[in-house]
Amino acid sequence: MGAAPAVVLLSGGLDSATVLAIAREEGFATHALSFDYGQRHDRELDSARRVAQALGAARHLVLRLDLRAIGGSALTADIPVPQGRTVEAMGAGIPVTYVPARNTIFLSHAMAWAEVLECQDIFIGVNALDYSGYPDCRLEFIEAFERLGNLATRAGVEGRTRLQIHAPLIRLTKAEIIARGAALGVDYGLTWSCYAPRPDGLACGRCDSCLLRAKGFREAGLRDPVPSAP
Ligand SMILES: [Zn+2]
Q: Distance from the CA of 204 to the center of ligand 1, in angstroms?
A: 4
Tell me the CA distances in angstroms from 181 to 62, 137, 203, one per residue in order: 23, 20, 21
- Residue 130: what pLDDT? 62
Instruction: Give 128's pLDDT tier (boundaries 50, 70, 90).
Output: confident
Q: For the segment 198-226, what is each residue's pLDDT rounded down to a tens digit?
A: 989 899 999 988 999 999 999 999 999 99
Q: Distance from the CA of 194 to the center of ligand 1, in angstroms?
A: 4
Task: Assess whether pLDDT exceeds 60 at residue 101.
Answer: yes
For residues 73 and 96, the answer to whether their CB atoms sit within 8 Å is yes
For residues 172 and 127, the answer to whether their CB atoms sit within 8 Å is yes
Mean pLDDT of 157-175: 91
**How many whole angstroms separate alpha carbon 48 and alpha carbon 42?**
10
Q: Distance from the CA of 61 to the center of ligand 1, in angstroms?
A: 26
For CA atoms 140, 142, 146, 151, the dihedral sign is positive
Mean pLDDT of 72-77: 78
Mean predicted lDDT score pLDDT of the chain: 90
- Residue 158: what pLDDT? 86
> Is 0.95 topped by the overall pTM?
no
- Residue 98: what pLDDT? 80
Q: Distance from the CA of 141 to the center of ligand 1, in angstroms?
A: 27
Task: Assess whether pLDDT exceeds 90 at residue 38.
Answer: no
